[in-house]
Structure 1
Amino acid sequence: MFMVTMKKKMKAFIFFLLLGIQGAAAVTHSMKYFYIASSQVPNFPEFVSVGMVDDVQIDYYDSRTEKDVPKQDWIARNTDQQYWERETAKRRGTQQWFKTNTEILKQRFNQTGGVHIFQRMYGCEWDDETGKVQAYDQFGYDGEDFVARDLETGTWIAPTPQAVITKHKWENDRALTAQEKNYFTQICPEWLKKFVHYGRSSLMKTVLPSVSLLQKTPSSPVTCHATGFYPNRAEMFWKKDGEELHEGVRKGEILTNNDGNFQMSVDLDFSSVRPEDWQRYDCVFQLSGGNENVITKLDKAVIKTNKGKSEGNSLAMIIPIIVAMLVLAVIAVIGFIDYKKRTEKRPPSQQYYKCYIQRGLLQAGEAYQVGWLCG
């Protein structure tokens, strides 16, 4: 783990702590970009870029299409064709940068063939009440931290011997240091504010979920499953007699639905609970920015199981979870999830995003190009 870290903010597709978003209430907004370059990963692009604003994907580029495209209507409405042509050109340059340096890193680590992943996550956060801005910039290789910028001191942190040469190279590049400082203190927050303005009606919306109780067999844990909520800053837990439970509880990750909303679940083992005591348990869903909690009383009569007529309904609820988990598993294979978890605390602000896939002194939401890594 890097010596300079950030506090954890989100659980999910990456995971964050709750941030209050409600109407015009004060909130910390974020803009993050993720790059992932892969070598010899079957059926996966050699390079992928994804941009996120407040944990909502705003653009996508990969080496197969070689075209950067908007992923939100509010982004498309507020940008022109020239903007996306510029973004595409920059992504192509970044793609080549990562390809070249992936090969250099393989040499540094005395590697020849095999699967290898080189990642970058960077971005900034802005508190719309205090105006405070924090930023982060880090790289990972094969699921391990490689190098990260301490933006307060202008130095780089090298947790592995192979990264020391990069640390010295970048710290001795005064032009690069000045560019990064300008990007993270001026350009990044300026574009973040623009994007938040463009997508305010969408980014600030709140949608409560539908909640169901599921149980595979009479002896299985009871799953409290919430789906269709927005945003993904939410929490879910079990209570007994009004007190939150921790023992016997298993929380799932927040997963993305096909419609852009989210789902999550929390399991509780009731095998040792007497039937007459079930009424003392509640499943509680809390949505950041929501006015009310969604409370579901534990009741055997409403639990969907794999038996009888409820089997179809239960499977209908479980299948989306399985599909989403498979998607996450594929990402994990290429080292994305591991890296995110290792870097859940970031340079003096948090987050971000623990790297995975998903823009120098550039313009709007563009990827900031740092100097050549190894050279």
Structure 2
Amino acid sequence: MAQQAYMTETDNGGSGPEHRGSRLRRLADRLLHGWRGDPRIWRRGVLTAAVALVLALVMLLHSRIPNRVGNLGSLTETFLPWLGLLVPVLLVLAVVRRSATALIAVLLPAAVWANLFGGLLTDKTATGGDFTVATHNVNADNPDPAGTARDVAASGADVLALEELKASAVPVYEKALAGTYRYHSVQGTVGLWSKYPLRDVRGVDIKLGWTRAMRATVASPYGPVAVYVAHMPSVRVKVNAGFTARQRDKSADALGEAIAAEPLPRKILLGDLNGTMNDRSLNEVTSQMRSTQGAAGSGFGFSWPASFPMARIDQIMVKGVEPIGSWTLPRTGSDHLPVAARVNVPRSATGS
């Protein structure tokens, strides 16, 4: 039987095979019908074009937005990637309005967003990695601490940090993790569990009046690694004060100073920083360490809130070790997602 092909009428009245390219051309012709020869395509859509330019400026100059009123700058930086959702909206408006001016203007915020976050859309995970770490804000009101402990231990992490530990729940976590981790220490409301010995363990003063940060030297097979665990104060949105983060910012500065003074060359920071890598208020920390998600992750790695993650405020940052992979772990009984990373610890100067 002769092979039959689907035929469609061509522009010249004949027929020929239906091709995807011809369908796309006809769709474009329908969308742009009436644009040719219309001088108003340059005068329409001025408002849409103006909004596109403002959006581009906000993303491009976000560090210049002042924090004096309700910490507006930090609030913008916390949710900065989501501003990209406005680009397709503006694009649709430009097409509906049949505005060439708006279409061209929309290219600017699209380019700025791609420059800022386009790299996060690719998978930068590599193979290998000899040291796995994980961190989780377990939530003081977690209804299933034992189950949460088992879930995060299943990640295979060599070192596990937990934040927001309620005193009454600490024995539950200790019991649930004892079979996986031989060594651990709890300082205030943060704790560190390790498959390798811990030494020089102490709390870190982040200017709160109680302990919510710690450091320890992990005696890994590849040499000593300084591991910091931190839980920055919560950021609040108040009716009269807006986005308030003053205490968080003060604590972040203190943590950054402690890490800068750390004598060991290999450093890892695990914890809930209540801020993203874009937040200028964390500069004392982020300026001296690399995000494993940014360097070796896939996607944005949003961790909070667990029900619909919109920001990565749970961080793994490193200095002196090489990020190989970074990812979020499945949801537990907490309002945060756990995050994990694989790194290579340099074997040179292992006695340092």
Q: TM-score, normalised by structure 2?
A: 0.26
Q: Looking at secondary structure, tell me which structure has more strand per residue.
A: 1
TM-score, L = length of structure 1: 0.25
Tell me which protein shows more helix as a share of its residues: 2
Question: Which protein, 1 or 2, shows the higher relative CO under an 8 Å CA cutoff with sep ≥ 6?
Answer: 1
